[in-house]
Amino acid sequence: MMQVSGEEQRTKVFNSLFSNYVGPTFAVHLWDGWRWHSSENQKPACTIEVLSSDALGLLIENPDEVGLGEAFIRREIDVKGDLFSVFSVGEHVLTRPTTLRQELLQRLAVTFVGVGNLFRKGMRHSLSRDRSAIQHHYDQPFEFYKSWLGKTLTYSCAYFHEAEEPLDSAQEHKIDLICRKLRLQPFEQFLDIGCGWGSLILHAAKEYGAYAQGITLSKEQARVADARIEEAHLTQSCKVELRDYRTLNKVSLPFDKIASVGMFEHVGLKNLPQYFSTVRRVLKPGGTFLNHGIARAHHSPARKSSFIDRYVFPDGELVTLSQALTAAESAGFEVRDVENLREHYDLTLRHWVEELQRHADVVLETVPESTYRIWLLYMAGSAAAFRRGDIELYQTLLSRTDRGQSHLPLTREDWYLPSICDEGIKV
């Protein structure tokens, strides 16, 4: 490991490391009291506390995303102040030129993580392995999610009419916008693939009079959704099943409208043809399908290993918009509308991080501190990625045409008429 001794030598190292840094001002505090500021003339947006020599060596000599994330989980690196600003520092460190030896070490680490993943249940994106990956993330105690998601219990990108809008109303607007884009009607059969804790199907049944069914791979989500349906007295028009989308061909009832919200990221590139063809097969001719999911920007390379893959979303895989649309059209769908909500997800994640920090005492009663720190890091880092434009959030409206007829209006005007949501949160 690199040995750094003496204040003068440390200062030289950090001055060199951040000589062309252009992000928010920050400070570094070491475990022995030594301090360094990126700018003496401005108050730092955040302070990075490096609390061990191992963490200092990782930051200076051989940085990688997983290693820095693990140091944060172990509190060998901590951040005081604006957590979001530290990702500009991380991007600078991780993208600076490296020596050949460092590149070989990083490649070795990527290989190790890839081999480790093979010991999970089955091959990547098999039914059993996808079930295990989903349960790893979503079967956290419900109280953990409830403490920071807000009243709607919606774990996906909100839809803000203005940046200052409260999270609850923005989430309600998103839920209603999906129903509007689908033009959901009373008594229609509606399916939500990856239904979370049931907010969308509850809204569809209560406000639009639809027969709404949700499917999920998370036992905890299904349990909570069932309880919410019972509490809302909607058992006659609303239900949830533990089911993989690939088994939908066993459902005899075709659906008028289908949505998939925040589930698409788990499908994987190789399974896109099966995903879209399965959805189209259970959708009635003339029906519409709204796919709401994160995509990788075309200029952003696919990562072989990342902190999120290892600790948050095992086997999650982001494809580009063009890959998704090609697969949808190849399955027989017609693309009717595409909307990018990238800025909305940045805002959503910032709300979640603030609520998670505000309710830290409650959160730490339900999950270990390591889980709390993992979620803080992944959500703040994701907000930074959305803000940079590395990842995007698309709502794509697809149609299974009926002998060439989409049965859709000529304009989108009805999507933006006064909303029932303006009366307040109802789900």
What are the pLDDT digits (tens) for 148-190?
A: 999 999 999 999 999 999 999 999 999 999 999 999 999 999 9
Query: Would you give the distance in Å from CA 264 to the centre of its chain?
Result: 10
Predicted local distance difference test score (pLDDT) of residue 317: 85
Q: How long is the chain?
A: 427
CB burial readout 14-39, b (16+ within 10 A) else e: beebbeebebbbbbbbbeeebebbbe
Q: Please tell me whether residues 199 and 86 are part of one structural domain.
A: no
* C-alpha closest to that of 127 among 303, 224, 250, 226: 250
Q: Which residues contact 127 (CB under 8 A, 6 or more apart)?
A: 244, 246
**419: pLDDT confidence band, cut at 50, 70 and 90?**
low
Which residue matches tokens 């791979």?
A: 217
Angle at alpha carbon of residue 168, lines to 163 and 171, rounded to 5° = 80
* C-alpha closest to that of 208 among 45, 24, 419: 419
SS3 per residue for 137-195: HHCCCHHHHHHHHCCCCCCCCCCCCCCCCCHHHHHHHHHHHHHHHHCCCCCCEEEEECC
Q: Which helix (H) or strand (E) holds 273?
A: helix 272-281
**123: pLDDT confidence band, cut at 50, 70 and 90?**
low
Q: Please tell me whether residues 329 and 392 are part of one structural domain.
A: yes
Q: Is the Cβ–Cβ distance between 23 and 85 less than 8 Å?
A: yes
Q: Is residue 308 part of a domain?
A: yes
Query: In whole angstroms, what is the distance from residue 30 CA to residue 54 CA?
Result: 12
Q: Is the Cβ–Cβ distance between 208 and 186 less than 8 Å?
A: yes
H-only helix segments in 321-396: 321-330, 342-358, 360-363, 369-388
Q: Is the Cβ–Cβ distance between 23 and 89 less than 8 Å?
A: yes
Predicted local distance difference test score (pLDDT) of residue 137: 52
**Is the pLDDT score of 112 beyond 60?**
no
Predicted local distance difference test score (pLDDT) of residue 233: 98
Mean pLDDT score of the chain: 87
Strand order in the sheet with 35-37: 35-37, 26-30, 46-50, 77-81
Q: Is residue 117 part of a domain?
A: no
Q: How many CA atoms lie within 13 A of 62 on its CB side?
A: 16
Question: Which amino acid is located at 195 in the chain?
Answer: C
Tokens of 353: 């991080």
Q: Is the Cβ–Cβ distance between 377 and 307 less than 8 Å?
A: yes
Q: Is residue 265 part of a domain?
A: yes
Predicted local distance difference test score (pLDDT) of residue 145: 93
Q: Please tell me whether residues 314 and 389 are part of one structural domain.
A: yes
Query: In whole angstroms, what is the distance from residue 25 CA to residue 181 CA?
Result: 43
Q: Which helix (H) or strand (E) holds 93?
A: helix 86-95
Predicted local distance difference test score (pLDDT) of residue 109: 36
Q: Is residue 107 part of a domain?
A: no
User: Could you say which of 58, 81, 100 is where a domain stops?
Assistant: 100
Q: What is the CATH number of the domain that holds 272?
A: 3.40.50.150
**95: pLDDT confidence band, cut at 50, 70 and 90?**
confident
Q: Is residue 237 part of a domain?
A: yes
More confident position, 4 or 306: 306
Structural domain including 184 reads: 128-423
Q: Is residue 112 part of a domain?
A: no
Number of domains the chain contains: 2
Q: Please tell me whether residues 94 and 139 are part of one structural domain.
A: no
Q: Please tell me whether residues 82 and 202 are part of one structural domain.
A: no
**Is the pLDDT score of 254 beyond 80?**
yes
Q: Is residue 362 part of a domain?
A: yes
Query: In whole angstroms, what is the distance from residue 10 CA to residue 28 CA?
Result: 11
Q: Please tell me whether residues 210 and 325 are part of one structural domain.
A: yes
**423: pLDDT confidence band, cut at 50, 70 and 90?**
low
CB burial readout 114-127, b (16+ within 10 A) else e: eeebeebeeebbee
Q: How many CA atoms lie within 13 A of 221 on its CB side?
A: 25
Number of helices followed by number of strands (H, E) in the chain: 16, 11
Q: Which helix (H) or strand (E) holds 215?
A: strand 211-216
Region 20-35: mean pLDDT is: 94
What are the pLDDT digits (tens) for 203-218?
A: 999 999 999 999 999 9
**Is the pLDDT score of 25 beyond 60?**
yes
Question: Which amino acid is located at 139 in the chain?
Answer: D
Predicted local distance difference test score (pLDDT) of residue 420: 61
What are the pLDDT digits (tens) for 382-413?
A: 999 999 999 999 999 999 999 999 999 999 99
Over pLDDT 70: what percentage of the chain? 85
Q: Please tell me whether residues 335 and 267 are part of one structural domain.
A: yes
pTM of the predicted model, to two decimals?
0.86
Q: What is the CATH number of the domain that holds 25?
A: 3.30.1050.10
Q: Is residue 111 part of a domain?
A: no
Query: In whole angstroms, what is the distance from residue 212 CA to residue 193 CA?
Result: 11
Looking at mean pLDDT, say which of 71-75, 99-103, 116-120, 132-136 comes out highest: 71-75
What are the pLDDT digits (tens) for 58-84?
A: 888 878 888 999 999 999 999 999 999
Q: Which residues contact 70 (CB under 8 A, 6 or more apart)?
A: 307
